Structure 1
């Protein structure tokens, strides 16, 4: 027969396959032309989903004979499996002998599956990435002592000045900082960032911002605030609208529509000067500048810290005695034991303390906390059998705790284990029940972040975005928040949240990956490549995903795309 493109009309809807909830749904349609002299004999259509690891063959799609063509349309719902992410979808056309094994023609309809919801951070351990912290300890009447808290303090400056002016506002900020450090004495990080407004009096270089940051550092040291060099970061931002974006969130003099105009400019990827000119064209900008620019003449102090409880020497001696003796009593009360458990840095020591507590006290606390120790031990092993055993032991302890009392921490930890076991729907019920039982904002922040991650995987993206309405400090939470906005197609808020993820942890490549996705969806190829280059150097998992992610299909054929991957390989080899 003469060459006829029998698959020319064949297509898949949607054009890019996507993971949604727990499946991949699509429809294949097309028509096989019937020419007067060369009608195909015994036409047949098959569909193949194939990767290097596995494949599924869908045979004998029904053909309906029309006057000028055989038509076909069929919908598919496939339970998603990991091997499908890098698979291609191919339609095959057969004619002639019914036993023919080799198709006469074939056509690739889609390459890869968009699995963006599966990027949600739920506590899973990935190779070459930091081990995520899971589980919530019940501490001595407050939120889990292992969870960090973030304090932000703003020192304002006169226009063009780098001299710290100890007015009532700045004195109040320093007093609040000292109170925060008193309550949270274990400092994890201390960031001092000098900023300056775009006003001409603020200078034409970043020198003023850095001078301000250094001035605040000296002032803190003179005020007896202990700054450890290894934990302290002093820097500045200049020609950067990031801080203005944050201020716009709380600015009440603009309508939502007008704010969207600002966000559209600030998220367009243009250079600073171009964005400045675009901002000035927005009606009312002069008023916004008068209200918000003074706050850009400042130094932002960001401290991540946590409480550091502990026992005195006499209590520590009693603790050692109780742990070494086979006795059913103790001179320490339960609060002392709980503080000892919180203060012990090693999981093995915590396990001994909480295990002994289960013998001494009938309380939810030791059973729950020992279960958390088991969960975190499970995070640190690569052996799946050992991991499963530790999860089983943790679940048994949580069951014992639930028999004593219904507790939100117990429900959260049961939900977290179910998440790690892949039982998402059961986990969601546990986490939802936990949120109902308490109004503790610190607990809800942590519980709702995991619940929001599951909402992303469940396909309820707008609800997921609402879950993250808490002050977070960890890069993973900002990333999940950005993911929820991205999947809701709210790219302005997605971009802001991904930027916050980058600011919270520059070595956490997922924030850069999120920014690359936003840029790719917005048609900003150069920005997408720039952010992708940063992302793939942070994680092998991100590197592998970027190679097959259909979100980047339009830029994958460019030389620039493969150049960033070649550069990554060369750097790794060195």
Structure 2
């Protein structure tokens, strides 16, 4: 740790000394490059190039007039120098004038380079007699767009889109009711056969549908006098039923449980009456006409007792109201059930061709497996069994994500190549948007942004799936930023996001298009979505630099460089912060703090 901090300190001072020394002139008394200037004053990456114009004039004044003047332009980095050639000097009355337009293809080393003018005169054309730095560094803000590349000290970006089966999104919830019965006037759970049967049935239901959404336990009591004249008995029964479940080794999250009671309410009686088969339809209608007449409980009770046959109905149904009703809403765990999982294990072991599993069951198994190694095994087997786009595409995504996790460039290239072959096979089977998206993603990672954009554009017209379109358009928007189509990029991000990366790209699109208000909102959203993700802070620092708010720049810049080594290195050379780089405050936030 100490060595890393010490190295950063030395690097900072060397960079500062180098940039200052580059501005010194070999012949102080001459100043022939004084009027030399570059437009724009800060070099900037645009699409894939750097464009600028150099102009100026050299005075011709008596003895100080230069002899055989020549001006050469170079772009100088720490390890490379790009010779941009000699400027054409045109002699006019009392001066030479010059102007040169340049457009050079951007390369990564240029980000920390300096643009220099070198002045030669006389017979010695090997060593310049004067130098002038016209610009320091290149603004590469568009290259901050997040397109899936892995960077040091940052979370590995998730790349590639699996073709979903849809089973993970379906509502597979199931509802079930169980009743625990009590003796008249009691809230003690008895060892009744009905209760044992209800508990066994409940356990079997939970085994099939273990992902519980809610549990509602409602204590009820019959209209009999021994059942009491308040709702305390019903609530006691509900709590007793809950304790009965817990004592039977059934554990539920407290937040899922709702315990309540009903009293002086014919609702449960009405439900029981619906399935009661000892009454004719006409007789049931007599009961329902009273139960639904809107009168209070006591009035309805008197009218019900006036119906012939009520005594028999009450004898049969009232005991069922001495209960606690347990209502469960639950769904199965994602993936295969136990029987299907056993078949899958048999098939993967090679003891059966597919062991009776359907293609959709294979696909669900792959989709629900959390580990890439398991997905790889399942999808590889599927390519042997089915000529389908799903296993080829999804196995390619596995390869892409494995490539993201390796530090070896050769291994990464091999995995990308394997993924591309699988995607080509998938494309031969079906013209599929997911396949096109994944081909585009690999091209992006390989540095072929223009070819990638064509693939992503083709993919966007093949489906109306909202989740796919959101992912595809966000990547297209990032490429629009790289391509310099900033206004178009802002249109790509009109979706609801949760990932700080997408918020940052959205903010970057607005920033590059000059809409700082929306850029600030998006960068703030990026910070809110992930405070350890430093790019949102870096974006806010860029906006503050544009408005000259130096103190705000420092606050956001410190948060950014604390979160990311990449941003630490970038901030040291980013021309966007040139106005604050020479300040003591800037030095303070980069000075390493060594703790004992």
TM over 0.5: yes
Show the counterpart of 1:153: none
**2:71 corresponds to which of 45, 48, 60:** 45
**1:372 corresponds to which of 397, 409, 413:** 397
Q: Structure 2: where are the runs of 5+ without partners?
A: 1-26, 171-208, 214-252, 259-331
Contact 1:89-1:111 within 8 A present in 2 as well: yes
The 5 A counterparts of 1:260-279 are none
Q: Deviations over 1:486-533 (max 9, x none)?
A: 000100000000000000000000000000000000111110110001
Structure 1 residue 224 corresponds to structure 2 residue 253 = no
Contact 1:24-1:79 within 8 A present in 2 as well: yes
For 1:394 and 1:22, locate their aligned partners in 2 and report how far apart those are by CA, in whole Å: 27
Given the superposition, is the C-alpha separation of residues 186 and 51 from structure 1 closer, same or farther in structure 2, using an over 3 Å criterion?
farther
Structure 1 residue 60 corresponds to structure 2 residue 92 = no
Q: Deviations over 1:175-201 (max 9, x none)?
A: xxxxxxxx9x899xxxxxxxxxxxxxx
Show the counterpart of 1:116: 141
Q: Deviations over 1:391-428 (max 9, x none)?
A: 11111111111111110000000000000011111100
Given the superposition, is the C-alpha separation of residues 101 and 447 from structure 1 closer, same or farther in structure 2, using an over 3 Å criterion?
same
The 5 A counterparts of 1:131-142 are 131-141=156-166
**1:388 corresponds to which of 391, 397, 413:** 413
Given the superposition, is the C-alpha separation of residues 95 and 539 from structure 1 closer, same or farther in structure 2, using an over 3 Å criterion?
same
Q: Deviations over 1:513-554 (max 9, x none)?
A: 000000000111110110001100011110000000000001
Show the counterpart of 1:31: 57
For 1:415 and 1:186, locate their aligned partners in 2 and report how far apart those are by CA, in whole Å: 40
Structure 1 residue 490 corresponds to structure 2 residue 522 = no
Structure 1 residue 453 corresponds to structure 2 residue 481 = no
Contact 1:364-1:401 within 8 A present in 2 as well: yes
User: Which structure's CA Rg is the greater one?
Assistant: 2
Show the counterpart of 1:398: 423
SS in 1 for 2:116: strand
Given the superposition, is the C-alpha separation of residues 5 and 308 from structure 1 closer, same or farther in structure 2, using an over 3 Å criterion?
farther
SS in 1 for 2:101: strand
Structure 1 stretch displaced more, 339-348 or 533-542: 339-348
Show the counterpart of 1:296: none
Contact 1:143-1:443 within 8 A present in 2 as well: no
Show the counterpart of 2:126: 101
Structure 1 stretch displaced more, 403-412 or 37-46: 37-46
Contact 2:168-2:334 within 8 A present in 1 as well: no
Q: Deviations over 1:30-85 (max 9, x none)?
A: 11111133321010001121111211122321111111111111111111110000
For 1:419 and 1:392, locate their aligned partners in 2 and report how far apart those are by CA, in whole Å: 14
Contact 1:25-1:77 within 8 A present in 2 as well: yes
For 1:415 and 1:225, locate their aligned partners in 2 and report how far apart those are by CA, in whole Å: 48
- Please state how far the C-alpha of 1:351 moved relative to its aligned partner: 0.4
Q: Deviations over 1:196-252 (max 9, x none)?
A: xxxxxxxxxxxxxxxxxxxxxxxxx865289xxxxxxxxxxxxxxxxxxxxxxxxxx
- Please state how far the C-alpha of 1:346 moved relative to its aligned partner: 1.2
Contact 1:328-1:359 within 8 A present in 2 as well: no
Show the counterpart of 2:100: 74
For 1:143 and 1:71, locate their aligned partners in 2 and report how far apart those are by CA, in whole Å: 71
Given the superposition, is the C-alpha separation of residues 36 and 225 from structure 1 closer, same or farther in structure 2, using an over 3 Å criterion?
farther
For 1:508 and 1:54, locate their aligned partners in 2 and report how far apart those are by CA, in whole Å: 33
For 1:308 and 1:4, locate their aligned partners in 2 and report how far apart those are by CA, in whole Å: 81
For 2:374 and 2:28, locate their aligned partners in 1 and report how far apart those are by CA, in whole Å: 79
Contact 1:330-1:360 within 8 A present in 2 as well: no
- Please state how far the C-alpha of 1:325 moved relative to its aligned partner: 1.0
**2:560 corresponds to which of 535, 557, 560:** 535
- Please state how far the C-alpha of 1:3 moved relative to its aligned partner: 2.5
The RMSD of aligned alpha carbons is: 2.2
For 1:144 and 1:429, locate their aligned partners in 2 and report how far apart those are by CA, in whole Å: 30
Contact 1:461-1:484 within 8 A present in 2 as well: yes
Show the counterpart of 2:500: 475
Q: Deviations over 1:305-325 (max 9, x none)?
A: xx9621111111000000001
Contact 1:408-1:437 within 8 A present in 2 as well: yes
- Please state how far the C-alpha of 1:144 moved relative to its aligned partner: 9.3
Contact 1:186-1:308 within 8 A present in 2 as well: no
For 1:411 and 1:144, locate their aligned partners in 2 and report how far apart those are by CA, in whole Å: 23
Contact 1:479-1:498 within 8 A present in 2 as well: yes
Contact 2:344-2:354 within 8 A present in 1 as well: no
For 2:75 and 2:351, locate their aligned partners in 1 and report how far apart those are by CA, in whole Å: 63
Q: Deviations over 1:227-280 (max 9, x none)?
A: xxxxxxxxxxxxxxxxxxxxxxxxxxxxxxxxxxxxxxxxxxxxxxxxxxxxxx
Aligned residues: 419
SS in 2 for 1:451: helix
